[in-house]
Structure 1
Amino acid sequence: MTQPIRRLLVANRGEIARRVFRTCRDLGIGTVAVHSDADADLLFVREADVAVRLPGNTPAETYLRADLVIEAAQRAGADAIHPGYGFLSENADFAREVLKAGLTWVGPAPESIEAMGSKVESKRLMAEAGVPTLDNLAPDAVTESDLPVLVKASSGGGGRGMRVVRRRESVAANVDAARDEAASAFGDGTVFIEPYVEQGRHVEVQIIGDAHGTVLVVGDRDCSVQRRHQKVVEEAPAPGIPDDVRTALHEAARLAGEAISYQGAGTVEFLYDEQKQRFYFLEMNTRLQVEHPVTECVTGLDLVELQVGVAERRALTELVPDGVPAPRGHAVEVRLYAEDPSQDWQPQAGGLGAFEVPSDLQFVTPTAYGVRLDSGFQTGDEVSTYYDAMLAKVIAWGPDRRAALRRLGGALGRARLHGIRTNRDLLVEILRHPDFVEERLSTAFLSDPDVLDRVNGSGIPSVPPSEQGCALFAAAVACTEEVARRRPVLQAVPAGWRNVTSAPQRTSFEADGTRVDVGWLGGRDGYVLADVYDEVGPARATSIEDLGDGLWRVVVELDGTARPFDVALDGDRVDIDWSGGHWAFTRVPRFVDPADQVAEGSLLAPMPGSVIALRAAAGESVTAGQPVVVLEAMKMQHTINAPHDGVVTEVPVSVGTQVAAGDVLAVVESTSSTRSTDSTTSEETS
């Protein structure tokens, strides 16, 4: 007997909440959002029929409080809960409490979640079901011949509690570190060790099961391009898999689902050794995956709609009467993160001055090949430090893989993303990288220096100096015009005008410590570029248009070629968009207020966050690279190291202090000429 859902609460936030709400609207189901204080103004809250506040900001205070979420559902009149992904989505106790409260759980049975929740236990179950697995190794039994090995947390995912170990003497320390991280992230410090396949591919199979014993395979995906064991690029179908291997993968995934009487949408993940054409079970995610849109694009199925149908006790033979369609075309998804790849993937937080990604549809698979955008943010939103750094998923669907890659790269290149650093440039480089285009894939892809080196660490786009010079000139013109608009007198006099020109005027910009001075002349003939780079010849601003709200369009002509530049001004921040990409700068003031200067040796917070540990106290001697302060931001820990040998003279923060980007965390007075080029490193593997 079916159990129709009338009003559904999504126990999640942002993009995935909006995604589930979209299908609910199609099905005529009412929607309920729960939100923290930090999320009160985001889109998913406004789009819900009913919204319930969860007081506080941190996940532990809000989205991880099962009791508050269930109470919110009851208060809002919801009769079902969808967990999304992350947070409580794979928490068997939460699923039990939902059912105990008389609500419909849009997910697998608690017993299935429990069976797959432990990677150790799930590997045993899969081996018994005939699914290939990798052997577990005891920490004290690892030999040189076993190296490299992978230490993994038994619970949770997202790369937390995971470390690659290449030296036998480092095994014990990495096991301890992984246990601590896993206990902090998942409340379970159990870890295990397995062989590490150096050039393996991460291939997964989407399944869905119902309450009537049917388990369907809904295609496969490749998710090999990862950073810190977290996926960055996903695509369907998985390219370059021989037909017999693909068939075996699908059969193994079906066996996995049947072994635990699986109901709902789930993903069976495998490590594929391309050289040997063998695969091994990694884990099963008993929820909807972040990358589900690529499967929806190539099959035309709505996986959330199937989740809801199964939760209503409907049979898959009714929901998919003609069976799973064969994949049509190819789909590629990238995860757009608020992070800086050139600074060790450092998460970013702050306001989105502009968030515009060209797309055909949002949260909906295009009826013809196109670009889909799934995002929880819009222009003007604030990216907080409390949650994951993902801003959006951008998905391109094309008739073949190369077409999808080109379409996706083009959409990302045209996006306007201002206010904080993102991984957009890196994503474009990946999509156009010869190895990726030619399907030379592995989980070690982003370890290749060639990939990262193509994204200049200074933040300067990889375009000819002439274009860089013209872009900077356009920015200088826009800055000068913006100031002129605000002056109370001489409005009729052109900005920068001089009766007798003796020397160029200069506008200075800075990005990541690199300063660039732009020399320009202003007179009867308008603005002329005097000097910026030696290679750049004379350029002239032929058109200047005030588009409002600090946005200017400046057309610069050089050697008979005109290039339009869009320059966005927000305080001292300058964003330049043009066909060559995006460039973010800070305008350097002519005079510096002494109050804004900090003492030499100051360790500054690289982002907003919370101080969770102090590794050195005032008066202690430290060496270059020694940890001094540990911050937590965006679900990750970041260690701030001493920049040189010296003595800690000041620690103005304490454990629990909330800091803003640029705040002084400590001051290390130098006792040596030795300097470290990087005082900030994130916690990572050995």
Structure 2
Amino acid sequence: MFSAPLHFSFTLSSLPPSLPPSLPPGEIAIRVFRACTELGIRTVAVYSEQDRGQMHRQKADEAYLIGKGLLPVAAYLHIPDIIRVAKENNVDAIHPGYGFLSERSDFAQACADAGVRFIGPSPETVRKMGDKVEARSLAISAGVPVVPGTDGPIASLEEARLFAETYGFPIIFKAAYGGGGRGMRVVKEYEELEENYQRAYSEALTAFGNGALFVEKFIERPRHIEVQILGDKYGNVIHLFERDCSIQRRHQKVVEIAPAADLDPNLRDRLTSDSVKLAKQVGYENAGTVEFLVDKHGKHYFIEVNSRLQVEHTVTEEVTDVDLVHAQLRVCEGRSLSELGLIQEQIRVNGCAIQCRVTTEDPARGFQPDTGRLEVFRSGEGMGIRLDSASAFPGAVISPHYDSLLVKVIASGKDMATAAAKMHRALSEFRVRGVKTNIPFLQNVLSNSQFLQSTVDTQFIDENQDLFIMKPVQNRAQKLLHYLGHVMVNGPTTPIPVKAKPSSIDPVVPTVPMGEPPLGFRDVLLREGPEGFAKAVRAHPGLLLMDTTFRDAHQSLLATRVRTQDLKKIAPYVSHNFSNLFSLENWGDAAARSQRCGTNYPDNTVFR
């Protein structure tokens, strides 16, 4: 136990939650750094070779390279290198963020063996909660209702067949050693059983290094409700109410809401009570989330515990005014919940908060991830809007190594309608160019009458195909700039459709007429002064034009680059043939000098 507050914190919050894909580095890391700075705690970041330019590295007081020579995900999973950096730099504690290692008991144990605090549950609790089968057994022992399922991982397809014969379809395969929607397959009829078993096994093996699966009865059209819990070192556990995470695609959350809309108060009491009961049974310490399915009859079933901070923790913070990362750090120091003022009877929910995960995906193509450089990034802000991001800025490169999360947008209001209106407005202010995003899709969700006026279940996206009818992004400014910068300057990129040779005719040099050039507006200005000049302009019956062709290389955007020595050769012909022009913009060396001095005087404009 620390005798004094932490003075040096090390965050691995860029660590991915699964493999592949994984959360982008930095978003939760920056969130943790800010909390540490507010509490006077010094911070250290780690980064892979490919992430040298990531923003989380700049936000920490110190930053160190790990996993040299490894791919990004492998670098962040290299426990010996992480522990080495921690010991070499006298690190007191490690915050694992959302990372894959945040739910790895071997990593929590490695921290303990190295004398470094793991900001999370004990290694044994992480092990129990990370094993869905054991977590299920613990829930049963605590009297928490669970979905009918196998007692342990199944060893063969035949066991899955026997389960389906006993409980009937639909059933669901789940990875025994991971989450995030990977290794999860719903089977609705016997003919689909073998294919889905093989796919779920393969996904689990790739993502978590272990293909073990267990089988559950699939609850149709449930709501996905989760309860935020917080425990200290002294056996005290509180809840911070619930979040509704029912809006999902392929079992991955898209929009989260706190508190859950139209939730029966008695059901809320059962959910929160069961969550605290389960947490106390395992001696839970630090932050965690207990997840449930609620069927159409209002019955709830335990599904898993996430023994870490959740991506959607933000909405709970907004409605309870409790800083969960502050609490994590103080609990790690040895503070009790009562010392922190976190007493169950004093926790209240105020208003409503909605979180949208803005991702670099194309909803029209099955949410296919998009990569590339952000040419333009302008965020939506204002009252009631919170942004948690790290990789969202002009020039940032969206890498294929990580999950497609770009920025989390959190809107708060007195009720759901107010929060949804703020969110819709904020999303409409975003301008993201260079990669596709799911913003038009999110706007459709926020405008949907079912979303706004009633509860939704996990089938909401699948059953509302009108959500995919999205207004196309016009991107007019970027298209115009591309035209000016590439087509006008460099010429069309498409080849000439015929094998025509360049013209062999030399350009014709015009003959300058003899004698004085015709009079122009400059002569009126010299002869009659400004008043006469203004009178002549007003009396002119047609449109007056100014020719801006003659610019030097410093001022040109369209490659009309004419040097002073060339201007002198061209001027006589122009004087004779374009005397009807109002003026010429004649940019020579003097103009370039005046521009560099920050002035824009028309001292070299020639009137004829």
Could you state the TM-score of these two structures normalised by the residue count of structure 1?
A: 0.66
Amino acid at match of 1:280: Y
Q: Is the 8 A contact 2:445 2:467 kept in 1?
A: no
1:87 aligns with 100
Could you say what secondary structure the match of 2:455 adopts?
Answer: coil
TM-align CA RMSD = 2.5
Pairing partner for 1:181 from 203, 213, 219: 203
- Aligned partners of 2:98 and 2:342: how far apart in 1? 28
Amino acid at match of 1:225: I
Alpha-carbon deviation of 1:75? 2.3
Pairing partner for 1:40 from 52, 56, 60: 52
Alpha-carbon deviation of 1:76? 2.7
1:12 aligns with 13
Pairing partner for 1:371 from 385, 408, 411: 385
Alpha-carbon deviation of 1:192? 1.1
Alpha-carbon deviation of 1:486? 4.7
Q: Is the 8 A contact 1:57 1:386 kept in 2?
A: no
1:31 aligns with 43
Larger strand proportion of the pair: 1
- Aligned partners of 2:336 and 2:479: how far apart in 1? 64
More moved, 142-151 vs 166-175: 142-151
Alignment of 1:330 with 2:330, yes or no, is no
**CA deviations over 1:443-480 (Å, ceiling 9, x no partner):** 11110243443226xxx25xxxxxx7xx86x7776665
Amino acid at match of 1:25: T
**CA deviations over 1:54-74 (Å, ceiling 9, x no partner):** 224534531111111111112
**1:230-629 correspondence to structure 2 within 5 Å:** 230-273=252-295, 275-320=296-341, 323=344, 324-360=346-382, 370-377=384-391, 378-455=393-470, 460=472, 482=485, 486=489
Alpha-carbon deviation of 1:549? 11
* Structure 1 residues 50 and 438: CA distance shift in structure 2, 3 A: same
Q: Is the 8 A contact 2:27 2:389 kept in 1?
A: yes
- Aligned partners of 1:321 and 1:122: how far apart in 2? 26
Alpha-carbon deviation of 1:147? 1.4
1:125 aligns with 138
Q: Is the 8 A contact 1:12 1:63 kept in 2?
A: no
Q: Is the 8 A contact 2:237 2:280 kept in 1?
A: yes
- Aligned partners of 1:202 and 1:432: how far apart in 2? 21
Alignment of 1:114 with 2:127, yes or no, is yes
Could you say what secondary structure the match of 1:238 adopts?
Answer: coil
* Structure 1 residues 169 and 399: CA distance shift in structure 2, 3 A: same
Could you say what secondary structure the match of 2:10 adopts?
Answer: strand
Amino acid at match of 1:372: R
* Structure 1 residues 406 and 525: CA distance shift in structure 2, 3 A: farther
* Structure 1 residues 279 and 214: CA distance shift in structure 2, 3 A: same
* Structure 1 residues 476 and 41: CA distance shift in structure 2, 3 A: closer
* Structure 1 residues 213 and 145: CA distance shift in structure 2, 3 A: closer
Q: Is the 8 A contact 2:50 2:72 kept in 1?
A: no
Could you say what secondary structure the match of 2:196 adopts?
Answer: helix
Q: Is the 8 A contact 1:341 1:426 kept in 2?
A: yes
Alpha-carbon deviation of 1:77? 2.6
* Structure 1 residues 419 and 326: CA distance shift in structure 2, 3 A: same
**CA deviations over 1:200-246 (Å, ceiling 9, x no partner):** 01000000000101000111100001111110000101111110000
1:615 aligns with none
2:585 aligns with none
- Aligned partners of 1:31 and 1:314: how far apart in 2? 20
Q: Is the 8 A contact 1:430 1:451 kept in 2?
A: no
Could you tell me the percent identity over the aligned residues?
Answer: 40
Q: Is the 8 A contact 2:388 2:408 kept in 1?
A: yes
- Aligned partners of 1:156 and 1:357: how far apart in 2? 33
Q: Is the 8 A contact 1:330 1:397 kept in 2?
A: yes
- Aligned partners of 2:126 and 2:245: how far apart in 1? 22
Could you state the TM-score of these two structures normalised by the residue count of structure 2?
A: 0.74
2:245 aligns with 223
* Structure 1 residues 171 and 77: CA distance shift in structure 2, 3 A: same
In structure 1, stretches of 5+ residues that fail to align are 361-368, 462-467, 489-523, 527-547, 551-686
Amino acid at match of 2:310: Q
Larger helix proportion of the pair: 2
2:155 aligns with none
Alpha-carbon deviation of 1:349? 1.2
* Structure 1 residues 215 and 525: CA distance shift in structure 2, 3 A: farther
* Structure 1 residues 487 and 355: CA distance shift in structure 2, 3 A: closer
Amino acid at match of 1:287: R
Could you say what secondary structure the match of 2:357 adopts?
Answer: strand
- Aligned partners of 1:422 and 1:408: how far apart in 2? 16
**CA deviations over 1:503-556 (Å, ceiling 9, x no partner):** xxxxxxxxxxxxxxxxxxxxx899xxxxxxxxxxxxxxxxxxxxx999xxxxxx
- Aligned partners of 2:40 and 2:90: how far apart in 1? 15
Amino acid at match of 1:41: G
Structure with max Cα Rg:
2
Could you say what secondary structure the match of 1:88 adopts?
Answer: helix
Amino acid at match of 1:390: L
- Aligned partners of 2:207 and 2:481: how far apart in 1? 47
- Aligned partners of 1:104 and 1:416: how far apart in 2? 41
Amino acid at match of 1:34: V
Could you say what secondary structure the match of 1:89 adopts?
Answer: helix
Could you say what secondary structure the match of 1:391 adopts?
Answer: strand
- Aligned partners of 2:489 and 2:451: how far apart in 1? 49
